[in-house]
Every structure is written in structure tokens, then in C-alpha cells.
Amino acid sequence: MTRAVVDDAALLAIRDRRHIEFVGPSVVVDVRGNGAAITAVIGNLIDNALRAEPEGGEITVCVDDEAIISIIDHGPGVPEDEREMIFEPFWRKSEATPGAGLGLAIAKDLIAKLNGRIWLEETPGGGATFKLSFGRLGAAA
């Protein structure tokens, strides 16, 4: 599913003179959750990363063997004191920031309803890495 979202975003990346790379797990990773909701969240995070990534740059979407999805950009990042606020409804960095400030709040709510988790880490060298974790199928609930 994540690969399909990345493939769909590739055209946007090319249009915006950016690159997108998918790094998949070494095994098939099945997770618990609503496919449409997970797809929407991943799509929102990729869209945000493409907007943050400088022209000519590359975002990376990784899925590891433990069902953790990472969306990595090399843009300006998010200051540490704003990292919790970005998940609040209507929060935007500035009035010039496009959108209504709802994407990350909706993402957090959807992931919580799926018993998952979303968080932000600093990308080494600068930027933002958003991570999602889900319960794996076959794992203890």
C-alpha cells in the first residue's frame, strides 16, 4: 500500500523538481487498520515533505520490518518547541503556509483510532522525519 502511495506521488515530485525514493522492508509487513485511512495519512505526510524539500532534493519513504513507516525530508525542519503543536488543529507555521492546518491533526486522530502512533524526529543533517507505527497482523494485540 505504501509503495502505491509513493508511486502516485512520484508525478507530483517530478512536477515540483524533487525526487522520491521508496525503501521497502525485507519481508511482507501486514498491519492492522483501515487501508483508506492509512493511505490518506501517508499521502498527507508525503505532500508535506514534498513542499518542505528544497528544489532538486529527495524525500525518502521507508517501511521497516516492524511496520514503522518513515517519511524523510531535508527541508527546514520543525523547531523542537513546535513539534507537539504541529499536531493541533489549525496550527500553521505562518499565515503564508498553505492549507488550513488540519492535515497533521487529522492524521494524528486517524492513527490514534487505529491504535497506532505518529511522531516527528529531526532528520540527521536537517529536515523532518515523520514516523508512523501500527499494530502488526499476527502480533499480540
pTM score, whole prediction: 0.86
Give the neighbor-by-neighbor strand order of the sheet with 19-23: 19-23, 58-63, 68-72, 128-133, 117-122
pLDDT of residue 70 exceeding 50 = yes
- Residue 105: CB atoms within 10 A of its CB come to 16
CB-based burial label for 72 (10 Å; 0-12, 13-18, 19+): buried
pLDDT exceeds cutoff 90 at 107: yes
CATH number given to 2-133:
3.30.565.10
Q: Which residue has the higher pLDDT, 1 or 12?
A: 12
**How sure is the predictor about 96, in pLDDT bands with cuts at 50, 70 and 90?**
low
Q: What is the pLDDT of residue 71?
A: 97
Q: Check residue 141 and give its pLDDT.
A: 47
